[in-house]
Structure 1
Amino acid sequence: MGEVTKAVILMGGPQKGTRFRPLSLEVPKPLFPLAGSPMIEHHIESCKKVPTINEVLLIGSYQYDSQIRDFVYHMMKEYKLQVRYLQEYVPMGTAGGLYHFRDQIARVVGSDTSNFFVLNSDVCCDFPLNEMIALNQETTNGMGFMIMGTKAPPDEAVNYGCIVTEPGSTKVLHYVEKPETYVSNIINAGAYLFSTEVFKHMAQVFDEHHKNDLAFPKDSISLERNVLPGLVGTSKLHVYLLNQFWSQIKSGGSAIHANRFYLSLFCKYNRDRLATNFEDHATILGDVRIHPSAYVDKTATLGPNVYVGAGVRIEAGARVKESIILDRAELKEHCCVLYSIVGWDSVVGEWSRVEGHSADPDPNDPYAHVHSGSLFNKNGQLNPGITILGRGVNVSREVIVLSTIVLPHKSLVHSKKNQIIL
């Protein structure tokens, strides 16, 4: 049996997350707050629930700046885990970084029979890590490979890695990344449990990559395209099928849904993190998290599914629903913010309305997930979506902003709808 002693979180780099702009212009996408915690803190909190995990490695091509350094320090202090950031010298793909740092991973894990998790940073779910360990033990005596999967409609499945399993079994018979035609409704959900034997398969891919004159960059390897199909041939690859909410966090719209989901997890596991209704305080509807340093007038109404960041000021009569209000933002009297992300240091004026459009997943479908489609339709027009105000945006009083993305440090004195304000 291979004991699971560590986890690796793939952070990507600044060249990724373009659909997450303008939010990713201010903070690395994996550190964007969802329900008041950086995106990958939810991953680390899930790792803490596995008793044998004592170290988490973050791999990415972001510069090791103060934001990442402070985050790593806070995670070690908060969760009593060893957390380290390993910076790729160039973007290496989803497997290149793993292979490049294989010696550190193997050294930390211990032996060739030990196992480790790999989690994509832009995945939102209640990670079933202990359940994946149990299934791996049941199917391969802890010596195999495990991939977390979920179901998707046929028209959406082709946008993901598709998994074909043996009938009545979890054994994977075929894996193909983003096929041109329908293959399966079971898709790759972005979490894996590997033994260190996986590095032998990566070594073969790496050698073939370097022999290919057309391959560039040479050290870039895709886990989904280059490694997983080869693992199918070992007969040791199995899938753990989720029966709960799952989403990729590719855009601001999916961030709103992830915020909602993590708030619901707090309601289930950590209710003390959520705001409650009591006399002489704002009206709270559903799951709402408010930073202790924020000011919320007692006549304001918040919720459901709202996060209010540090130093935020929400004045009399304001209404906030299904939104993320980032640090030091100001919501003036009687303004209304719905299905929106209000950026750091932004101001929404009196009686203004900032509203987005949200395509909610089917609440009756246990496999429902948020589809992050294109920003634009076939006619080149902006599709209706949530409203995002970048850092330092000023919305004047009595202005309506609908389904609009506003880049940082803009002033809106007239109403806008379905636009990108550059």
Structure 2
Amino acid sequence: MLKAVILIGGPQKGTRFRPLSFEVPKPLFPVAGVPMIQHHIEACAQVPGMQEILLIGFYQPDEALTRFLEAAQQEFNLPIRYLQEFVPLGTGGGLYHFRDQILAGGPEAFFVLNADVCSDFPLTAMLDSYRHQPHPFLLLGTTANRTQSLNYGCIVENPQTHEVRAETEKPSTFVSDVINCGIYLFSPEALKPLRDVFQRNQQDGQLEDSSGLWPGAGTIRLEQDVFSALAGQGQIYVHLTDGIWSQIKSAGSALYASRLYLGQYQLTHPERLAKHTPGGPRIRGNVYIHPTAKVAPSAVLGPNVSIGEGVTVGEGVRLRESIVLHGATLQEHTCVLHTIVGWGSTVGRWARVEGTPNDPNPNDPRAHMDSESLFKDGKLLPAITILGCRVRIPAEVLILNSIVLPHKELSRSFTNQIIL
């Protein structure tokens, strides 16, 4: 028997995902046509012996989250529950706080997945590796180039045994080209070191607060408090993958993740990919179109386009490397490139809405998305264009490398601006 835990965080996180996170919790943002965490749930549901999936975070359980969980339980025929933290408890605090629910029924092991990663989730391969050599902690790792490795948790492994000798979060100098993917497989014994951290936090807090009610005792950071402390003691191992992987920290990385998942659909969900049909729109590359969307036959879509529920795409529209969300309208002959079009937004006829991608170096197979910064030297850096919820773009204008906050009605062109 196995379980899975998906760490979804909470509303004060994901600030780099604004303005898109104003409308839905970040874990429910559609990536390649389905909510971000549905990719995680689909992967977990395919592991033989999976009995339950738990979501841990500190979002209020609103209607959108509740509706998603109910639909997911029916689709995957698995218990899927949300466990709400009373305060943010870090990447490990929620695991310890809800340890009784995780261990109920006596699972052999449990997966732990961060919600803000895109991956092909080689969970069965991780399970095989764990059963071959059981240890409390198994981490999924991949390689990065020397420069980009500094932006991640770096793992120093024994190349023969794959034991983790050291784990360092965002080092200031090069440590290793193996990075932590934020996907783990833990044995039940893995909760004992979390208990030790909790008790140590309590003792440290009591020195500062004689009441013994120090609120920070439950906050546990897996990477710094557990992995770094236990590395080299024969308890942590790494399973390396060369499959797809990326963080989803911002809207730009969500667009890149959509491209990766659409590519995966060739193998995993070919039924989700639109096909060119006589009298239908011209499809180039991997494109997802929700069944309720209305797309004019003269539109040209792709590659790497995701069109959501109830979207209207007019005659002569050109759409490439973009996500168009629920209820949006692209009027006749608009051109939308490297853009996320928000819920219910309208792009007027003959308008051009375009962004600049921040893609990994295509000539470096170990390259990942660079850490995205909005500003440099006080200037807005060119990046993908984001239209928030219910934005109206007039006809015959250019919107380039700009972020438009929700409910704005523009009257002219904008370039390299945040429109408040």
TM bracket (short chain): over 0.9
Cα pair 1:210 1:218 within 8 Å, conserved = yes
Residue in structure 1 matching 2:50, options 48, 53, 62: 53
Match among 164, 167, 175 for residue 172 of structure 1:
164
**Residue aligning to 1:11:** 8
Cα distance in 2 for partners of 1:216, 1:247 equals 33
State the Cα deviation string for residues 155-191 of structure 1 (Å, max 9, x = none).
Answer: 2212211110114331111111222222111111100
State how far apart, in whole Å, the 2-side matches of 1:181 and 1:372 are. 16
**Which deviates more from structure 2 when the two are superposed, residues 265-274 or residues 398-407?**
265-274
> Aligned ranges for residues 144-159 of structure 1 at < 5 Å?
144-159=136-151
Give, in whole Å, the separation in 2 of the partners of 1:362 and 1:348: 31
Identity over aligned pairs, percent:
52
Q: Does 1:126 align with 2:126?
A: no
Tell me the distance in 2 between the aligned counterparts of 1:368 and 1:162.
Answer: 15
Partner of 2:178: 186
- Which segments of 5 or more consecutive residues in structure 1 lack a partner in the other structure? none
Q: Would you say the 8 A contact 1:242–1:367 is kept in 2?
A: no
Work out the CA distance in 2 between the residues paired with 1:116 and 1:221.
18
Q: Which residue of 1 aligns with 2:250?
A: 251
Aligned match of 1:37: 34
* 1:206 counterpart SS class: helix
- Please state if 1:307 is matched with 2:328: no
Secondary structure class of the residue paired with 1:76: helix
- For 1:402 and 1:240, the matched residues in 2 are separated by 42
Q: Tell me, in whole angstroms, the C-alpha distance in 2 between the residues paired with 1:216 and 1:251.
A: 30
Which amino acid in the other structure matches residue 77 of structure 1?
A: Q
TM-score (norm 2): 0.96
Question: 2:211: which partner in 1?
Answer: none
**Hey, what's the Cα distance between the residues in 1 that align with 2:231 and 2:109?**
18
What CA deviation, in whole Å up to 9, does each residue of 1:330-379 have, x standing for no partner? 001100000000000000001100001112223454433222321111x1
Give the aligned partner of residue 86 of structure 1: 83
TM-score by length of 1: 0.95
Three-state SS of the structure 1 residue aligned to 2:67 is helix
- Asked if the contact 1:251/1:372 (under 8 Å) is kept, the reply is no
Counterpart-to-counterpart distance in 1, 2:400 and 2:241: 35
Amino acid at match of 1:202: L
CA-based RMSD of the aligned residues comes to 1.4
Secondary structure of 1:264 counterpart: helix
CA–CA separation in structure 2 for the residues paired with 1:52 and 1:302: 40
Alignment of 1:211 onto 2:203: yes
Distance (whole Å) between structure 1 residues aligned to residue 154 and residue 303 of structure 2: 35
* Structure 1 residue 216, shift from structure 2 partner: 5.9
| Structure 1 residue 351 corresponds to structure 2 residue 345 | no
| CA deviations over 1:234-265 (Å, ceiling 9, x no partner) | 40311111212211000111011111111111
Q: 1:337·1:355 contact (CA, 8 Å) conserved in 2?
A: yes
Matched, 1:22 2:19: yes
For 1:387-398, list aligned pairs within 5 A.
387-398=385-396
- 2:310 maps to a residue whose letter is G
Contact 2:151–2:371 (CA<8 Å) still a contact in 1?
Answer: no
Matching residue's letter, 1:124: C
Contact kept? 2:321, 2:339, Cα under 8 Å: yes
> How many residues are paired up?
413
Tell me the distance in 2 between the aligned counterparts of 1:19 and 1:135: 35
